[in-house]
Structure 1
Amino acid sequence: MTRHLLRDDDLTAVEQAEILDLAVELKRDRWAQKPLAGPQTVAVIFDKSSTRTRVSFAVGIADLGGSPLIISTANSQLGGKETPADTARVLERQVAAIVWRTYAQAGLEEMARGTRVPVVNALSDDFHPCQLLADLLTIKEHKGELAGLTLAFFGDGRSNMAHSYVLAGVTAGMHVRVASPDTYAPRDDVIDDADQRAKETGGSVTLYTDPLEAAAGADVVVTDTWVSMGKEEEKLARLRDLGAYKVTNETMALAASDAIFIHCLPADRGYEVDAEVIDGPQSVVWDEAENRLHAQKALLVWLLRQQ
């Protein structure tokens, strides 16, 4: 059966751990596996601009012996005359996998239903599972075992990043705190799904409106940009609504003494995080950015093995 990664809980706890362990191996020996030798081609489709996603997938596919085919939807029929399902039927006869950085989660789901090759969500409005694999790899490197750690997310709880932290964190057995105003709380259905997964893993999700309470004793402190791509007109409102949730030195002082700070980047210094934090000794954001490469390579290897 073809496996896809469209949202973080498409992976069980065991499967997530397998991919992270494989990422550790591939980081140690970068060219150890060549499942795409040939070279086989992987289609990497972009509706949105990108730095880390574009570079890490292009380099990772090449590392695995393959050829990345970078496609801009502005220069293709996808999203115009052709449906995601029809595009998938064309691509599956020529590529080994499809990676898509897009807007609507529904498009990814339609594409996955229409193809026999793995489809990977490289970002949607709802979830960012590839980023979370990289983040979990980074946390694992710096903190050891993931299960039992407390991760505190600050800012927009309805963002794709918050939703992915909730699902992936709980899958890893972590205790996830989301600090946001009530009007920015994660979607109820995402929390319900996380609560169900938590029954299997021992993780948990707790929502806070008080950012200082959420920070207390946290092992991992996280934030994300407050203004998502394509929503720049919301910046002033979000600065007003989310200002109290900026990660500062005070936030880090309330967390555990050995807490680490992560941010998926790009960061808007002075808005969601102070420069002193992101550039400070507890920040591991550059390890995190590199780990997109290793985590995504591991994901592709794992998905291809399921074929």
Structure 2
Amino acid sequence: MFQGRNFLKEIDFTKEELNYLVDFSIHLKDLKKRGIPHQYLKGQNIALLFEKTSTRTRAAFTVAANDLGAAPEFLGSNDIQLGKKESVEDTAKVLGSMFDGIEFRGFSQEMVEDLGKYAGVPVWNGLTDAWHPTQMIADFMTLKEEFGELKGKKLVYLGDGRNNVANSLLITGAILGVNITISTPESLFPEQELVDMAKKYAEESGSVIEITTETAEAVKDADALYTDVWVSMGEEDKFEERVNLLKPYQINKELTNHIEGDWILLHCLPAFHDTETLYGKDILERFGIGEMEVTDEVFRGPQARQFQQAENRMHSIKAIMAVTNGNLFIPKV
């Protein structure tokens, strides 16, 4: 059912399959915590292709591969000729002949789709400009750990509504029956085609999809607030525009006071919540702000689950790699 398949975007999988991945991730986390070996990929070699830099994705794939008994090999943008001196097709065929699985983190969704088409081994999307599917399994895993179920829970995303994280949350939530609200300026609304797709999935799952410019009303009955950086990698020239546009969408104490009931904070990281980085100091100097998408008070508050969420990247990536390349017996789901 899963064996030999690529993991390139959420819409390639059913609600039952995505739920299985969430549950299997929780199971593998339990095995890891109890020190029980689970080397489903013993003897395999895994290629990690990175056009975009990363902390969590690289660390998660590396540790996951090692835990599964596989040997990971990192190939950065200076190590590969992908689409430069060698076509994606040719590169995919070469790497597929040497490695048992390939991870790709970069800009183009078309590139990862082509890798999946020609490699002959499972290809996993670590992030593209369009989708962030491995992040989603970790995110909804965290939500399930906290609340015990997914269906009917409400997740509110505040910030840039057109980036890969917002896209993936919208679609994955709709598939799984999670109510998704995207709170963003009208100029940053998700593409209508994507919203229509989400609403179609929502009709089947019972999910409620909302795209709004409101903030206080949007978060009132939220179970989770989610945010991301205001400026995605490759869009640095839009920094001043985004800062001015998204200030009203900052997650701060004033906003969270509108929430009735228990809730958690999610963030795929890195987060710009203080000035303890060179980046943060530069933003303070240029724009006079020391906190961006989330305030330090909320980031360090009792509802914060972003570091649990970050750890879950490794457990969920391990689950994805194991089911697609581990020859596991999985009854039809």
What's the TM-score bracket when you normalise by the shorter of the two chains? over 0.9
Q: 1:305: how far off? A: 5.0
- Bigger Cα displacement from structure 2, 185-194 vs 151-160: 185-194
Aligned position for 1:299 = 320
- Whether 2:142 is the aligned partner of 1:138: answer yes
Aligned position for 1:228 = 232
- Whether 2:274 is the aligned partner of 1:253: answer no
Separation of aligned partners in 2, 1:43 and 1:200:
37
Aligned position for 1:202 = 206
Separation of aligned partners in 1, 2:77 and 2:243:
31
Aligned position for 1:72 = 76
For residues 35-184 of structure 1, the aligned pairs below 5 Å read 35-38=40-43, 40-184=44-188
Structure 2 unaligned residues grouped into runs of 5+: 274-290, 329-333
Letter in 2 for 1:150: K
TM-score, scaled to structure 1? 0.96
TM-score, scaled to structure 2? 0.89
Q: 1:306: how far off? A: 7.1
Aligned residue for 1:18, secondary structure, equals helix
4+ residue runs over 6 A deviation: none
Separation of aligned partners in 2, 1:91 and 1:29:
31
| Max Rg structure | 2
Q: Any conservation in 2 of the 1:3–1:306 contact (CA below 8 Å)? A: no
Equivalent residues, number: 306
RMSD: 1.4
Residues 92, 187 of structure 1: CA spacing in aligned structure 2 closer, same or farther, 3 A cutoff?
same
Aligned residue for 1:222, secondary structure, equals strand
Deviations 1:25-58 (A, max 9, x none): 11011254212111x1111110011100111100
Aligned residue for 2:322, secondary structure, equals helix
Q: Any conservation in 2 of the 1:73–1:79 contact (CA below 8 Å)? A: no
The counterpart of 2:31, out of the listed 29, 32, 42, is: 29
Letter in 1 for 2:38: Q
Q: Percent of pairs identical after alignment?
A: 37
Q: Any conservation in 1 of the 2:105–2:125 contact (CA below 8 Å)? A: yes
Aligned position for 1:17 = 19
Residues 206, 306 of structure 1: CA spacing in aligned structure 2 closer, same or farther, 3 A cutoff?
farther
Letter in 1 for 2:15: A
Q: 1:271: how far off? A: 0.6
Q: Any conservation in 2 of the 1:219–1:256 contact (CA below 8 Å)? A: no
